[in-house]
Amino acid sequence: MSRLPLQAGNWKMNLDHLEAIQLVQRLGYHLDDTDYDRTEVVVCPAFTALRSVQTLIEGDRLRIGLGAQDCHWEESGSFTGAVSPGMLAKLDVSYVVCGHSERRRLFGETDDVVNRKVRAVLAHGMTPILCVGESEEQRDQGRTESVVVGQVEACLDGVEDRQVAGMVIAYEPVWAIGTGRTAEPGEAGATCGVVRAAVAERRGTDAAEALRVQYGGSVKPGNIEALMRQADIDGTLVGGASLDPDDFAVICRWHRL
């Protein structure tokens, strides 16, 4: 099955709404219809920039998708500082990152919490980008596969097979995020293959073949081609490099390299 690659920029807690507008404008200048026909491009700004970026994308008719970095699983309520999936859907957000390792590590999110978010995002017609990945300690203990498979299984609990088929799972080894270290392309590809195999075993071949699996962790122009040559890598979840429109454009145009 041919899967359209998805290159998504996770801006994390960077860029105010004016800076976000400038970045998207510059990114749009670099990309053309050929790029968009062969790669899906998504940006995930901070909450405060979502409306500004949405307006720009719609007004300039850019073929750039809009994503959010997180959400709460409830529709409304006494959750100070939280943003509901329904609020994001009203802004035409297409993708929501769920379970990023920084959310797990810094904010104590468990697989159960991530699972609730995944199901809430799906219920509002958006696509979760479910993040899974092992710590350096777990990697050194040879537990990469068991950790990743366990996260996949727990975070997809209660999700229908057809919904899984339309999702995105991002393999992001914790030890490679923001460190400048990147998993070797073959290693990254093999673990993305583990993710797909786990889905195939639990949800069937059709769901596994349709599912897009990304790699994330210090992705940059210098390693994008080698990563994208891996059969089970269907795109990347990009952190720091997505804050530079020139670098991110190179990543989005990997098919031209």
CA 170/CA 173 separation, integer angstroms:
10
CA 45/CA 204 separation, integer angstroms:
34
Question: Which residues form the catalytic set?
Answer: 100, 172
CA 235/CA 211 separation, integer angstroms:
12
* DSSP element (H, E) containing 207: helix 205-210
CA 80/CA 239 separation, integer angstroms:
27
Quick check: 139 and 175 in contact, CB under 8 A? yes
Quick check: 112 and 105 in contact, CB under 8 A? no
Residues 6+ apart with CB under 8 A from 115: 154, 155, 156, 157, 158, 159
